[in-house]
Amino acid sequence: YAQDHDRCGPTAQPGPVVDLRAVHGGDPEPHTRGADGARVLGTQAQIWTEFAPTAADLDRLAYPRLCALA
């Protein structure tokens, strides 16, 4: 996971926070029209669990993005 040079320092969140409207309004393959579209195998909605210490935190992070991906 992302970390600064000080091993005792705080970890860095991998990427900016994206609001729910942007997630639901996004096109999962905006640049893959035409011949390049044949190379798209799928999408994913990864979760960095080091930022979800409890099951409730994981649910809060996972379900909005999984619903948007579906």
* pTM (two decimals): 0.51
The reply to whether 65 falls in a domain is: yes
Residues 6+ apart with CB under 8 A from 50: 1, 11
Determine, yes or no, domain membership for 51: yes
> Total structural domains in the chain?
1
Looking up tokens 């409890």 gives 54
Return the structure tokens found at 1.
């996971």
The tokens of 61 are what?
A: 């992070």
Q: Does the pLDDT of residue 1 top 60, yes or no?
A: no
Residues 38-67: pLDDT tens digits?
Answer: 777 777 888 878 878 899 988 888 888 888
In a domain, 13, yes or no: yes
Both tokens of residue 14? 């991998």
Domain coverage including residue 52: 1-24+45-69
Whether 2 has a pLDDT exceeding 60, the answer reads no
